[in-house]
Structure 1
Amino acid sequence: MTVFNHVLVVLDPTSSAQKALERALALIQRQGGKLTAFLSVYEFSYEMTTLLSGEERESMKHAVIKDRELWVNEYLKQPRAQGIQIDIKVVWHNRPFEAVVKAVLEDHYDLVIKGTHDHDVLKSMIFTPTDWHILRKCPCPVMLVKDHAWPEQGNIIAAVNAGSEQTHHKSLNQRVIETAQQMASLLNAQVHLVNAYPGSPVNIAIEIPEFNPQEYNSTMQRHHKDAVMALAQAHHIPVECSHVLEGMPEDVIPKLAQTLDAEMVIIGTIGRTGLSAAIIGNTAEHVIDRLDCDVLALKPANFICPLEKS
């Protein structure tokens, strides 16, 4: 079974350990498909070489690209010796996330795999790292890789928003669960559904004396539990693997992932951009930094890439 036919793996020129490449190779060995190793390069000194002619500048650029291609080829010697076919794509671009998204739009990759780092919370709020740009703007699924291994008989978490009646949330729930089941089949893992629901709003309980927080919590829990059970039944997921937990997703999902020692969390992301992203952020982004396992983020079926529109 091939879940992703054409995979783009983003290499990290600052690291000797290419964990994204290792993960991509493990996936391709299990499912088949095409793999392309991708690297975006840019020398800021290029902009300062005004004394050089246009031809000399181009020669400098091609020399840098050629050097990086040789570096990539070194990393690919061993898997190629094992018979794995891997293409190389090295591009000149001063914005790595745009280079990745452009490659996806041009060559129609159906999965991007990239290693991620622990982001400083404050910096994540002020500056948007390359990971976040790719997560928000890439039209295909994005797998952000951490250090957790893919063990046999492991656990994969499908994070759903079962309580919502909105069409795009329902559609995303289906995509998340179906992808989780496909990945679980490849990795010989068990799928777990998780749904977070909010507790009683404290300010309402204070301002409205007749408000009953226990009744509210009970009603909210029942609503989400019924919705999750319906999804579990529709997808033949055992009741004991369905988790309805009170709290924010960024708290609930990492705790469950740690409890289950999950190897992957699959989550839907609406790809919020602009001011709303700066102020509110995306649930997937809040979750990722608190996990020590891989995250596979899926977009809605009708997602339109901002770069495609411009």
Structure 2
Amino acid sequence: MQLQQLLVVIDPTQSSQPSLERAAWIARHSGAAIELLICEYNGALDSGLMFEAPALDKARHALLAQRRDWLEQLATPLRQEGLQVTSEVRWGKPLHKMIIARCAELKPDLLLKTAHSHGLLHRLLLSNTCWQLIRYCPTPLWLVKPQGEWRGQRLAVALDPTHSADKPASLDHQLIDAAQTLGQTLGLEDHYLHSYAPLPRTLVFDAELVADYEYYVERTGERHREAFEQLLDGHAIGKPRTHLLQGFAEETLPRFVDENAVDLLLMGAIARGHLDTALIGHTAERVLEGVNCDLLVLKPQGVAAHRAG
């Protein structure tokens, strides 16, 4: 995973831009260039019912010029400290399609966008645009949690060595390589997680398994440990930074993030067939909504952008 070009989605409705703050932190460590992107649209300026076409064009150009001036204000202090920052303003909707189109043109190494959060739940609440980007955008997507101080000390990557979610085996190796690159470039301590859950006793209907349920649980754990160790074999990863967690991923991963002060969680995403919804998996979706940290979602290498509905 390279860190040469970052694309940052700027929210024109907010004064605070956590995604830009994170991008600047990444650029300071990596030397990456930054592009600031605003995708603007106002239905009142896209209809000829109230105004004639020349007046609408003039109003749109004025609004885009205002946005461009604001981006330049955001970029100026970053340029003064030596960072390479450019800006881009686009008109159109929906937002996720506009962002994906710019990704196709710029081909950034990383797309950063601020995700929403709920002050009481202390978790991310992903917007429809976030979900659409997770499903359809091939660019690695860094979703920034807007609340809390960014420590920038520790990352964790969720792996699936048994490929229970139909993920290609290469995606786990891609996640490991990305985590190691981020760890070295950004100074993050990298940890590697695999979570598994044996069937609860109440759902085991095989008489032989019921009779020796403890052996079944032990053997399940051994199989997952073997698969986890085989996946990690060949990567320079110390044992203290590998963690086999027993339990459902939507419970164990958020708990690990909280207990170990994880700043960034990496996960893989896959598209499922030709469905417009292109789910990344119900478990992964629950994990994404439940964690209390930034998220980095990667697609398998070579995946083209899916057509977004």
Fold agreement, TM-score > 0.5:
yes
- Deviations along 1:134-162, one digit per CA (max 9) or x if unpaired, are 1111111000011454536x221011001
How many percent identity over aligned positions? 25
Which structure has greater helix proportion?
A: 1
1:236 shift after superposition: 1.8
1:201 shift after superposition: 4.3
Alignment of structure 1 residues 146-165 onto 2, 5 Å: 146=145, 147=147, 149-151=149-151, 154-164=153-163
1:165 shift after superposition: 8.1
Are the counterparts in 1 of residues 18 and 114 from structure 2 also a CA contact under 8 Å? yes
Report the RMSD for the aligned CA atoms in angstroms: 2.7
SS of residue in 1 equivalent to 2:244? strand
The amino acid that maps onto 1:161 is D
Q: Which residue of 2 aligns with 1:61?
A: 60
SS of residue in 1 equivalent to 2:295? strand
Are the counterparts in 1 of residues 33 and 83 from structure 2 also a CA contact under 8 Å? no
Question: Following the alignment from structure 1 to structure 2, what is the Cα–Cα distance between the partners of residues 38 and 276?
Answer: 25
Q: Which residue of 2 aligns with 1:175?
A: 174
SS of residue in 2 equivalent to 1:144? strand
Q: Which residue of 1 aligns with 2:206?
A: 208
Question: Following the alignment from structure 1 to structure 2, what is the Cα–Cα distance between the partners of residues 148 and 224?
Answer: 35
Q: Which residue of 2 aligns with 1:136?
A: 135
1:265 aligns with 2:265: yes
Task: Extract unaligned runs of 5+ from structure 1.
Answer: none
Q: Which residue of 1 aligns with 2:227?
A: 227
Question: Following the alignment from structure 1 to structure 2, what is the Cα–Cα distance between the partners of residues 244 and 96?
Answer: 38
1:87 shift after superposition: 0.8
Summarize the Cα distance change of 1:281–1:225 in structure 2 as closer, same or farther, 3 Å threshold. closer
Q: TM-score with structure 2 length normalisation?
A: 0.88
Q: Which residue of 1 aligns with 2:49?
A: 50
Q: Which residue of 2 aligns with 1:249?
A: 249
Q: TM-score with structure 1 length normalisation?
A: 0.88
Q: Which residue of 2 aligns with 1:292?
A: 292
Alignment of structure 1 residues 3-22 onto 2, 5 Å: 3-22=2-21
Summarize the Cα distance change of 1:204–1:130 in structure 2 as closer, same or farther, 3 Å threshold. same
Summarize the Cα distance change of 1:283–1:165 in structure 2 as closer, same or farther, 3 Å threshold. closer
Question: Following the alignment from structure 1 to structure 2, what is the Cα–Cα distance between the partners of residues 175 and 31?
Answer: 20
The amino acid that maps onto 1:7 is L
Moved more, 4-13 or 266-275: 266-275
Question: Following the alignment from structure 2 to structure 1, what is the Cα–Cα distance between the partners of residues 109 and 229?
Answer: 30
SS of residue in 1 equivalent to 2:245? strand
1:26 shift after superposition: 0.7
Moved more, 61-70 or 47-56: 47-56
1:298 shift after superposition: 0.4
Matched length: 301
- Deviations along 1:89-137, one digit per CA (max 9) or x if unpaired, are 110012111110011112212210011013799xx99x96111111111
